[in-house]
Copies of this chain bind each other. A is one copy, B any other.
Amino acid sequence: MSKGLLIVLSGPSGAGKGTVRQALMERYPDLRYGVSVTTRPKRPHETDGVHYYFLDREDFLRRRDRGEFVEWAEVYGNFYATPREPMETWLAEGHDVLIEKDIQGAMTLKRAYPDACFVFILPPSLEELRRRITARGSETAEARHQRLASASRELTYLDRYDYAVVNDRVEAAAEKLLAIIKAEKCRVSRQPDLIEKIRSGGAV
């Protein structure tokens, strides 16, 4: 059985990663979503275990020190991490797994999982990004300003990614992601069993 594909969906805050992910998962219901953990406060529309696992600081640090996270980071004073489980079990079982990460988290994951597929979601323009960050409305002006400055800076990480998808229309962006997953699974380098079968002279 071949291993599943790990897809890391990334991009600046306000690019619309979460919306694109939801549209993708409607098209590919068997795709597993690796929920991140965070110590930041839950926003009104968010559900624990769906958008994030919301942990208090003490619990987070205890789990981190036990090695339960494949990466962790502190951003704007809050902790974020990617739990090792169930992600690694899903992958070993052959399921494709999607995780959603900010740039910093994605860059750390790239070292741990160089074979993962890294997709950068871009906002249609910096103006649209500003509008989206402002519309979020759950943050202070200071936090919004910081987030926009950081988004501008983060865009320069684009060339460290495999794919770039501009999120101008959510449905079109989700279709592109679906094509990326389908194509990646056809890559020769991801089909070692096929090469082995051919080398051993047997049937394809």
* Total copies of this chain within the assembly: 2
Judge if A1 is at the interface, Cβ distance under 8 Å: no
Give the residues in chain B near A191, CB-CB below 8 Å. 164
Judge if A31 is at the interface, Cβ distance under 8 Å: no
Annotate A82-95 by CB proximity to B: 1 below 8 A, 0 otherwise: 00000000000000
Judge if A25 is at the interface, Cβ distance under 8 Å: no
For chain A residues 130-155, which have a beta carbon within 8 Å of chain B?
Answer: 152, 155
Judge if A194 is at the interface, Cβ distance under 8 Å: yes
Shortest A98–chain B CB gap in Å is 15
Q: How far is the CA of A191 from the CA of B158 in the complex (A)?
A: 11
Q: How far is the CA of A125 from the CA of B120 in the complex (A)?
A: 38
- Do B204 and A183 have beta carbons less than 8 Å apart? no
Annotate A164-181 by CB proximity to B: 1 below 8 A, 0 otherwise: 111000000001101110
Judge if A182 is at the interface, Cβ distance under 8 Å: yes
- With known contacts A165-B186, A184-B183, A158–B198 Cβ distance under 8 A: yes
- Do A182 and B176 have beta carbons less than 8 Å apart? yes
